[in-house]
Amino acid sequence: MPDWKEEITRRLTPLKLAPVREAEIVEELTQHVEDRYRELLTAGAAEAEAYRAALDELSDREVLGRELRRVEQSVNQEPGILGGSGRGNVFADLAQDLRYGFRMLAKNPGFTVVAVLTLALGIGPNTAVFTIVNTFLLNPLPLEDVSHLAAVNAAAVQKSSQQTDLRPISYANLKDYREKNHVFGSLAGYSFPIALTMSAGPESHRVFAEVVTGNYFETLGIRPPIGRFFSPGEDTTPGANPVVVLRYAAWQSRFGGAADILGRTIKLNNFAFTIIGVAPKGFMGVNAVFGPDMWVPSMMAEQVLPAQQHDALSDRAMNIFNGAGRLKPRHKPI
């Protein structure tokens, strides 16, 4: 590699620049000329030819003047393209700017780390807040009479605090609440999204599903645009009805919006399920920020839940469901 710094320093000597500023200009011009030299070599030019072409650019007074003005100014300006005609090239400009930016960041690793962490800490929470506001305020869930819906959870009271810790409830307790309460006309349960392996042909994909009670969609007050939701008979016998309802977005992205989607068989964790319906567009479940790809009836819990939760329908100590209740007409929401 030619010693560009020595040649550039020799050409800058008559300008009698301050040592610090001269060093900055030498460094910038060296990088530019090296980049140009490498580009010429990559394009097939001989080493001697590439060397002469790079030196010719150093003789360009316009290029040298531009670098002087850039370093002298107190604010950074976008570096120009050496040997450019002045008309500019968007992609060449972008590549040059990126190289310049990376060089500056590499010179100040401490600042770079702090800047990256600051951006990460700022962007992350703002993205989460925007997602929640966009979901619940700007684009609320397409549910019927939302003001009459209420969440139902267990509450663990902290003795050292007045706050309560909301927790899931077991399926057995959920059944008791549903049968013995006098407040809700309908009480449904749903799990958090769980990861499953879906096979719909030769390929397998990771998907997320919620296990829900048979009255889940009815309680929320939504209607299927395609097919149907779970029937009461599919919520009585464990393992008897392997059916599944797709989220609209999953129908579009994973099945290409196929018109013949109803009746198709897919495998979830290597167990065959039949697609019976598609949820309305925009519906992502009650946990709307992190919605599932599909919903499975609670009676199929053993087939889709992890091995340690196979007794979820009978073990009263296994708390995996959250409740969603629709108030009776005579009860006004609090």
Closest alpha carbon to 285 in 241, 309, 249, 328: 249
CB under 8 Å, gap of 24 or more: what pairs does 123-130 form? none
CB under 8 Å, gap of 24 or more: what pairs does 153-156 form? 153/322, 153/323, 154/319
What pLDDT does residue 127 have? 55
Structural domain span for residue 203: 146-327
The rounded distance, in Å, linking the Cα atoms of 167 and 177 is: 15
The rounded distance, in Å, linking the Cα atoms of 268 and 196 is: 6
The rounded distance, in Å, linking the Cα atoms of 111 and 106 is: 9
Q: Are residues 169 and 297 part of one domain?
A: yes
Region label for 35, one of left (φ > 0), alpha (ψ between -120 and 50) or beta (otherwise)? alpha
pLDDT > 70? residue 75:
no
| Separation in Å, CA 88 to CA 60, 83, 96, 165 | 17, 10, 12, 61
The rounded distance, in Å, linking the Cα atoms of 9 and 200 is: 67
Q: Are residues 79 and 160 part of one domain?
A: no
Q: What is the mean pLDDT of residues 154-158?
A: 74
What pLDDT does residue 213 have? 96
Judge whether 295 lies within some domain: yes
pLDDT digits 0-9 by tens, 187-203: 999 999 999 999 988 88
Lowest mean pLDDT among 131-135, 201-205, 284-288, 289-293: 131-135
Q: Are residues 91 and 184 part of one domain?
A: no
Domain total of the chain: 2
Judge whether 138 lies within some domain: no
pLDDT > 60? residue 109:
yes
Q: Are residues 174 and 311 part of one domain?
A: yes
CA 1 to chain CA centroid, nearest Å: 44
CA 225 to chain CA centroid, nearest Å: 27
pLDDT > 50? residue 165:
yes
What pLDDT does residue 83 have? 39
Q: Are residues 93 and 163 part of one domain?
A: no
pLDDT digits 0-9 by tens, 112-127: 677 777 777 666 665 5
pLDDT digits 0-9 by tens, 252-277: 999 999 999 999 999 999 999 999 99
**Mean of the per-residue pLDDT values for the chain?**
79
Domain end position, chosen among 107, 138, 163: 107
pTM, 2 dp: 0.59
pLDDT band at residue 86 using 50, 70 and 90 as cut-offs: very low
Contacts of 213 (CB under 8 A, 6+ apart): 174, 188, 189, 190, 235, 297, 298, 321
**185 vs 131, more confident:** 185
Q: Which amino acid is at 205?
A: H
Judge whether 236 lies within some domain: yes
What pLDDT does residue 73 have? 55
What pLDDT does residue 89 have? 52
pLDDT digits 0-9 by tens, 290-332: 789 999 999 999 999 999 999 999 999 999 999 999 998 865 5
Q: Are residues 255 and 162 part of one domain?
A: yes
pLDDT > 90? residue 7:
no
What pLDDT does residue 157 have? 66
Q: Are residues 308 and 168 part of one domain?
A: yes
Q: Are residues 55 and 150 part of one domain?
A: no
Judge whether 179 lies within some domain: yes
Contacts of 181 (CB under 8 A, 6+ apart): 187, 325
Q: Which amino acid is at 23?
A: A
Domain end position, chosen among 79, 107, 135: 107
Domain end position, chosen among 76, 107, 138: 107
Q: Are residues 157 and 89 part of one domain?
A: no
**18 vs 128, more confident:** 18
Q: Are residues 322 and 196 part of one domain?
A: yes
What pLDDT does residue 146 have? 80
DSSP letter, residue 136: I
Contacts of 295 (CB under 8 A, 6+ apart): 209, 210, 211, 212, 216, 217, 244, 245, 247, 279, 285
pLDDT band at residue 81 using 50, 70 and 90 as cut-offs: very low
Judge whether 116 lies within some domain: no
Judge whether 118 lies within some domain: no
Q: Are residues 216 and 150 part of one domain?
A: yes
Task: Tell me what percent of the residues of the chain surpass a pLDDT of 90.
Answer: 41
pLDDT > 60? residue 32:
yes
What pLDDT does residue 70 have? 60
Judge whether 332 lies within some domain: no
Q: Are residues 160 and 101 part of one domain?
A: no
β-strand partners of 295: 210, 245
Judge whether 136 lies within some domain: no
